[in-house]
Amino acid sequence: MAYAYQAEDTQCGLFFTQARRFENDVFMRAKLKNGEPCREWTDITWGEAAREAGLLGAGLIEMGISKNDRIGLFAHNRPRWVISDQAIQGAGAIGVPIYPTSTDNQLAFILNDCAAKALIAGDRDLMAQALRVKAQVPSLAFIVCLSPVTTPADPCVIDYDAMMKKGADASAAYEQFEQRRKDLKSKDTGAIIYTSGTTGNPKGVVLSQANFKAQTDVLMSTPMLQKIIERGIRLENLCFLPLCHIMGRTTDYHLQMAIGTTIHFSQSINSIQEDLLDVRPNVLLSVPRLYEKIFEAVRRHGEKLQGFRKKTFDWAMAVGDEAADHLISGNPMPPALGVKFAIANSMVYDKIRKVVGFDRLVVAGSGGAALPAEITKFFRTMNITITEGYGLTETTSAITSNAPVFVEPLPDKWIYKKAVEWLVDTMIVMQGRGQCPFKTVKGALKMMVVSKLISPRFIIKPGCVGRPCKNTEIRIAEDGEVLVKGPQIFSRESGYFNQPEKTSDEFTEDGFFKTGDIGELDEDGMLRITDRKKSLIVTSGGKNIAPQPIEMALIMDMYVDQACIIGDGRNYITALIVPRFDLLSELAREKGILQCGSDHLIRLPEIISFFQERVDRINRNLARYEQIKKFRLLPAAFSEETGELTPTQKMKRRVIYEKYGAEINALYQSSRMTPETE
């Protein structure tokens, strides 16, 4: 039996097929009503979403949208983002998602580069921004606002309700919409997604419907997800990754459509903690920072405990650490350890899951940056396996995954088949309802069988981004660059929008895409990414150094928020460090330091000595030529607003080097091997 995601060639076809199947079920929920923020969650069924997408698409056609016209989608995550995307696809047009945090110049650049005929703005503020740049974009004919607009500031503006009415009143346009969406083919363009641009203007990556289908197939190919869809288990997801980013789009949107999940839209990145407790999701896809913050919070909580509670917490952490080693390595857990692990889960880990809103979590994913092995291991102790993946916009997201996969086929015996069902019963059904499987005799017995027969056959290797995905081939070039070929990779023919010469440069003669990342494959075929090719530091002594692992080691310190390693063309390594100022302020109070601003705080000798001790600990695990000889504490975090980060939170090293040029030069002006304090 073929499921909808396998039978349909386009994401638009998948959406409308699922809408017919789940018509009266809730598809999306958000604290929005009629395009405006509200206090309560508002439901949108699959049928309602499909009806609105059809009317909006007919409205676009009535406004003059033709096949392959480009339409910018400039909005924060919300149900109408998904509806708009489906309306664009169904109308035969091409959606161009744009980060809602973009500057006027960035917005104008993308709209001009793709020659957008229309723009869909998420709210009145984004509409106002679009109007500011409209004069610079000759191709832009009209702007749709997803929030109500009673008195448009420009005749080119039309709001969501007016567009829906326009579609409802145009029967011919609606019929044309229905025909266009049914005529969509796998070779048609699904979207043009602009890269975040760490080294210059972004490039428009042309992704086909075939690319999107291949990626959905990749994500759905894990044993657990296959069991979920096979048994018709319905899940609830919390969506907060930007849908305009390839990872957010493919995991929080396309994947959830394929499963038939209810998608809850987080209010904002700042409300994620509140939303987690409110929704208690079954599915969560995130960047590593969220998991790191939870790990840090639990660690800080444990440090503050006293007496019996402290002893219980430390005992549970030690048991979990030992148990995780067995779970990760695939070695069967000794019975005595299994009993202690069950007790630790019931007494401590279950409470932690509830406090952070993870008590119903069954599918967790991480991407966008490396997830430290320590974090992976910590969550494994809580019966939460975080699936890491690796990919780029050009690869339609994942090309590798460390999702649990069977090392070899299970024996064709009744007990193994039953154990797989019990794995689903405990880790998906029970945990999905917020029930700790270790708290019932039946659940604990099932978990023991699963631990004995199934867990040892799963490969999960922290620190790696996994094996090549389904139908994906990876090889390592002589210089260490990761090369990839597969159905989810954007094609050499379509490539970067209007940039065939740049597209050609990104492929080898035999058709492998050059990722620009440096990596290595281990003995199990697992890929480990060590750094970006362009980020490699070559010291004046000729040593090649990957900055990312050193930066990761620094960031894993609970008092470090961000770090940037410097040393290209220099004779030793230095670092710019942004402290966690909330924790640093607490530390200052404990040391009796009077309240002062961050700029003054980072210049105090006792604070600099405190960080020197932490840097020294990290240096002990580095080769001599990799060690950080000096560092400078910075008074403010890198951010997208101040230009040091891309919308996906990657560092723009060139910008950082220029902005902090004086501080960097000062680190190399003296022969002293101590941090600057002037």
- pLDDT at 542 (0 to 100): 72
Q: How far apart are CA 42 and CA 39, in angstroms?
A: 9
Average pLDDT over residues 202-208: 95
Cβ(235)–Cβ(264) below 8 Å:
no
Query: In a 3-state reduction of DSSP, which class is residue 362?
Result: coil
Helix (H) or strand (E) holding 489: none
Across 74-88, 351-365, 625-639, the highest mean pLDDT is recorded for: 74-88
Say yes or no: domain 536-667 is CATH 3.30.300.30: yes
Task: List the single range of 232-236, 265-269, 378-382 with lowest mean pLDDT.
Answer: 378-382
Residue 275 pLDDT > 90, yes or no? Answer: yes
- pLDDT at 56 (0 to 100): 98
Residue 675 pLDDT > 50, yes or no? Answer: no
pLDDT tens profile 154-177: 999 999 999 999 999 999 999 999
- Mean pLDDT (the chain, rounded): 90
Residue 292 pLDDT > 90, yes or no? Answer: no
Q: How far apart are CA 303 and CA 491, in angstroms?
A: 52
More reliable by pLDDT, 555 or 61: 61
More reliable by pLDDT, 669 or 136: 136
**Which part of the chain is CATH 3.30.300.30?**
536-667
pTM, whole model, 2 decimals? 0.85
Residue 553 pLDDT > 80, yes or no? Answer: yes
- DSSP conformation class of 543: -
Cα of 563 vs its chain's centroid, Å:
20
219, two tokens: 């994500």
Residue 670 pLDDT > 70, yes or no? Answer: no
Average pLDDT over residues 481-498: 94
CA-wise closest residue to 167 among 59, 80, 89, 62: 59
Task: List the single range of 162-171, 230-239, 252-261, 588-597 with lowest mean pLDDT.
Answer: 588-597
Q: What share of the chain is helix, strand, coil (3-state, %, to 5)?
A: 45, 20, 35
Q: How far apart are CA 284 and CA 237, in angstroms?
A: 6
Using alpha carbons only, what angle is made at residue 482 by residues 480 and 486, rounded to the nearest 5 degrees? 155
- pLDDT at 25 (0 to 100): 98
Q: How far apart are CA 479 and CA 123, in angstroms?
A: 47
**Which part of the chain is CATH 3.40.50.12780?**
4-184
DSSP one-letter string for 82-131: HHHHHHHHHTT-EEEEE-TT--HHHHHHHHHHTT-SEEEESSHHHHHHHH
**Pairing state of beta strands 628-633 and 70-74?**
unpaired
Q: Which spans in 557-646 are helix H?
A: 581-590, 598-601, 605-619
Task: List the single range of 191-205, 332-346, 483-497, 573-587 with lowest mean pLDDT.
Answer: 191-205
649: left (phi over 0), alpha (psi -120 to 50) or beta: left
- pLDDT at 569 (0 to 100): 82
The pLDDT-based confidence of 50 (bands split at 50, 70, 90) is very high
**Pairing state of beta strands 189-194 and 204-208?**
antiparallel
Average pLDDT over residues 414-439: 89
- pLDDT at 459 (0 to 100): 65
Architecture of the 4-184 domain? 3-Layer(aba) Sandwich (3.40)
Q: How far apart are CA 81 and CA 242, in angstroms?
A: 11
- Return contacts of 351-355, CB within 8 angstroms, 24+ apart: 352/298, 352/382, 353/382, 353/384, 353/436, 354/434
Q: How far apart are CA 345 and CA 319, in angstroms?
A: 10
Cβ(134)–Cβ(140) below 8 Å:
yes
Residue 328 pLDDT > 80, yes or no? Answer: no
**Which part of the chain is CATH 2.30.38.10?**
478-531
Residue with tokens 């880790």: 427
Residue 241 pLDDT > 50, yes or no? Answer: yes
CATH topology of domain 478-531: Luciferase; domain 3 (2.30.38)
Cβ(539)–Cβ(563) below 8 Å:
no
CA-wise closest residue to 224 among 383, 332, 382: 383
The pLDDT-based confidence of 676 (bands split at 50, 70, 90) is very low
Residue 225 pLDDT > 80, yes or no? Answer: yes
Task: List the single range of 54-58, 144-148, 342-346 with lowest mean pLDDT.
Answer: 342-346
Dump strand ranges (E) for 291-333. Answer: none
234, two tokens: 């319905």
More reliable by pLDDT, 674 or 334: 334
Residue 198 pLDDT > 80, yes or no? Answer: no
Cβ(537)–Cβ(568) below 8 Å:
yes
Cβ(611)–Cβ(578) below 8 Å:
no
